[in-house]
Amino acid sequence: MVDIMKSQTPIIEIDNLIVSFGEGDDARRAVDGVSFSVLAGETFGLVGESGSGKSTILRAITGLVPSTATTLRVMGEDVSRERGKDFYRKVQMVFQDPYEALHPRHTVWRQLMEPARIQKVPDAETRAKASLDAVGLPQALRWRYPHQLSGGQRQRVAIARALMLKPEILLLDEPTSALDVSVQAEILNLLCDLQEEHGLTFLMVTHDLGVVAHMCNRTAVMQSGKLVETLPVDVLVNGGATEPYTRKLIAASEAYGEAPASLSQLTKV
């Protein structure tokens, strides 16, 4: 964890974000009036219930789903309507589901080179090689297609691709959920190094409070489309959460880490 907060400048500002899906009786707000901001150079966690709207928030930031908001600013610019080409270089997203980010008929190499080509990156090949190394994938995998990789290898291709354009902001949706903890450690260390060297900002969705404790400065907790509370991570891990849902989440995670007498006992927290 980076101990000192790098700045007090908000780099992502979100006020009253609303995303709705469905029509008529089936219309639902997947994100229901969410407000938070992420400071430049910090790692901000987004945790909470499955289906509570975490991925949808990341999609709304990148414009993949239509949304409304009182404020939706990234790097000081209003992005509630449109985003320039520059936005897609400076902001990169690692999807929860790597299949979604990767083109099924492109080789690993082409997945990496394509965004670099669009953005006219001069040293693309060198970068692509370095990205594969950085995520611990052998160069020999570069001629494979996504379906010829293991789940964790696919997830690492998606991470390598996001790093290709040297972004300033990374939106990470469960970026290590398919990795064994030894590879996860390598990726998390890599992210920390990038942050220290280049001052990157991370907005990171995860279900693993151990990862939150290790990586994040602050975290927001979500339940049913609403943001329940936002708190510094040291407050969270030291029992300072005030909302019942947050307390339940941390209690379950703690019990899970130590040795519970039985599984049924765990569910009762």
Partner 1 sequence: MNSPLLSVRDLRISFNGVAGPFEAVRGVSFDLGREKLGIVGESGSGKSMTGRAIMRLTPRAAMVKAQTLCLPDVDLLQASEKTMERIRGKRIGLIMQDPKYSLNPVVSVGEQIAEAYLIHTRSNASEAKRKAAAMLEAVQIRDPERVYRMYPHEMSGGMGQRIMIAMMLVSEPEILIADEATSALDVTVRLEILNLLDDLVRKRGLGLIFISHDLNLVRHFCDRVLIMYRGHVVETLKAGELDQATHPYTRGLLDAMPRIHTPRRRLPVLKRDPAW
Ligand X SMILES: Nc1ncnc2c1ncn2[C@@H]1O[C@H](COP(=O)(O)OP(=O)(O)OP(=O)(O)O)[C@@H](O)[C@H]1O
**Which residues of this chain interact with partner 1, rule CB under 8 A?**
1, 21, 26, 28, 47-51, 54-56, 96-97, 99, 140, 143, 147-153, 156, 173-174, 177-186, 188-189, 192, 207-211, 213-215, 224, 237, 248-250, 252-254, 256-257, 259-260, 263-264, 266-267
> By CB under 6 A, is residue 150 in contact with ligand X?
yes
Site for Mg ion in 134-153 (CB under 5 A): 150-151
Cβ count within 10 A of residue 165: 19
> By CB under 6 A, is residue 151 in contact with ligand X?
yes
User: Closest separation between CB of residue 50 and partner 1, Å?
Assistant: 3
For 59, the enclosing helix (H) or strand (E) is: helix 54-62
User: Closest separation between CB of residue 45 and ligand X, Å?
Assistant: 13
User: Closest separation between CB of residue 123 and partner 1, Å?
Assistant: 26
Residue 223 CA neighbour count, 13 Å, CB half: 10
Contacts of 259 (CB under 8 A, 6+ apart): none
Query: Given candidates 10, 53, 98, 146, which one binds ligand X under the rule CB under 6 A?
Result: 53
Which residue, among 80, 102, 82, 81, has the nearest Cα to 93 in the 3D structure? 102
Site for Mg ion in 24-63 (CB under 5 A): 55
Contacts of 169 (CB under 8 A, 6+ apart): 11, 12, 74, 75, 90, 91, 92, 200, 201, 202, 203
Q: Beta strands 226-232 and 218-223: pairing type? A: antiparallel
If DSSP codes are grouped into helix, strand and coil, which group holds residue 166?
coil
Site for ligand X in 183-222 (CB under 6 A): none
Partner in contact with 253, chosen from partner 1, Mg ion, ligand X, none, beta carbon below 5 to 8 Å by kind: partner 1
Q: Please give the residue ranges that form the binding site for Mg ion (CB under 5 A).
A: 55, 96, 150-151
